[in-house]
Structure 1
Amino acid sequence: MILFENVSKEYQENKPVVSELNFEIQDNEFFVLIGPSGSGKTTTLKMINRLISLTKGYIRINGKMISEYKLNELRWNIGYVLQQIALFPHMTIEENITIVPEMKKWSKDEMKDRVTELLESVGLDPDTYRNRKPSELSGGEQQRIGIVRALAADPDIILMDEPFSALDPISRAGLQQDLLEMKKNLNKTIVFVTHDISEALLLGDRICLFNKGKVVQIGTPKEIVQQPADDFVRSFLKAGNVQPKYQKTVADVIQRGYINKELTLPVNETIVTVTDPIEKLMTVLSMQTEVAVVDDQVDVLGTISQQQFLSYLSQDMQEGENE
């Protein structure tokens, strides 16, 4: 459990970046910090592992103040995933993943087995990827390595600071699905910073919404959407275009003409149906360049490529901005 008690952070006296934070993050909870740029969410995250020191109040992990932990002891038990990925370019993927286990003096066999396990968990073949360098990987693959590196030493807590914001929509959707699977299978407390309300609603068990350094509302996705605390929360949801996103299906992509009606891949490949939600199409196209689409009678209508789907998303985004 992570407990914030009257926590404030000031870089200049009487000018708090965040103030009077009082909330509790439960064990094994996926807790999302969200808000506009400069609202204090990343500062709050970094205070947990003492990358930023607090000015007032207390943060406790399992009842113990973070200041009472030795710094390396604290950070070895807290995985950290950055937006910038920050893999070491001169190291292999295996060497990047095993940095903390090596510091903790794991055996070579233990580290090799752990790399195999983690690469398989995010759909990357261990024999193919363990000896590659980061420059040989796509942005989405590099970020998958950033995530599993944070898990390598089996920490209890994972901090994630806008880890997907620099990725294209398809890679982002694939990683969100990876994280949802990890959430089911791992007993980890995850604290996740994002500025994307749709991402927060998809991933979070609870969401903590910031504005101007203060917590405006904490609640489940359902509570945030159905019972917004004030006009700021309502406008934040509206700006994120939350409701339309969850109503759209593959049929909407086809209706806008983003389909190749000539089948260009075997029918036994992964398929989607016209009634599947947009999120499923994004997930499939994060793993392959093209997907077959069938109707309710399982008749093949054609294929949708990654490029066609990105064009659809671009059009959809422009229309949303003009509404």
Structure 2
Amino acid sequence: MVNFEGLGKYEDNVKTIGGRNILGSILFEKDDSRIILHTISGGQPLSPTSTSLTPLQTRWTLTAYFKPFSSRIIFTGISSYTLSPSPLKIIKQQDYWDSINLLPGGTYGAVNVVEGLKDFVDQVLFKGKVQRVGDDEIPYLIFRRAKDYTVRRYPETTWVKINYDRREEGYEGLGRIVKGYESKVLKPCRVDVDGDVKSMSWCIGFGEGGVDEGFIKCIEERGGEIVTEPERTVAILNIPEATPNTVKSAERKLINSVEVDGLKCVTSSALVFAQYDEVFKMGKRRVEVWKDVESIWN
């Protein structure tokens, strides 16, 4: 979307996105804009005797709050740096977004600037309103915002879990177990279907020491199972409803999309989806299919 030369203009661009100059203070919220660097690779000699270096590559997540439309915009992708070996310095930077530049196999290619503008406008006008993590949700870091799916990293989480036959029975059972502690439950409700065994879980805390000991004791006394899960990297696909056929079809689509893009799914027989709304809510619902993937982000 932008091209420029010179260190001064580079610095001005960073200040604008960070809300640290006059234009930036009008467009972006200073305290709510950041870039997170995940990995650095490359920069090696082309051969043992060569002075030329392979391009340096970084993976990153950029988030900013666009003030004119009260929208959160998120870009994930890579930057490729061309290096001059003597003296060692960066002579060119090319940025690629996962949402428009990602190609089959996990490579990246340039696209028309119109595609970038469409992606930006779509976030500002439509998606940006819901891209903020709610206070009642498990926090996560977005690693990849691709065209059809998202990859998130969740922290260590603690869940209360029960088996069920009918979904409404699962909600009622978990509701009885956490009665009096409802404010400590975080969205989403997670459902795991492994053959004939169906379980439903509600998150009751995250991170080390993030769960009230009295709450855990109460849950165990009421017959709930406590499950602690380590940090996980999950691919997410949004679906309109959680019917068996819809979830199964969405999982197949999700697996195909992430593997085409060069990621590898963690082998599991369980079908996992997450629901953010009550089981009997009318109208549009927020439902996600989850699939663990092997992380390429550190």
Give the alignment's TM-score, normalised by structure 2.
0.23
If each structure's strand is expressed as a fraction of its own residues, which one has the higher value? 2
Q: Which has the higher contact order (CA 8 A, sep 6+)?
A: 1
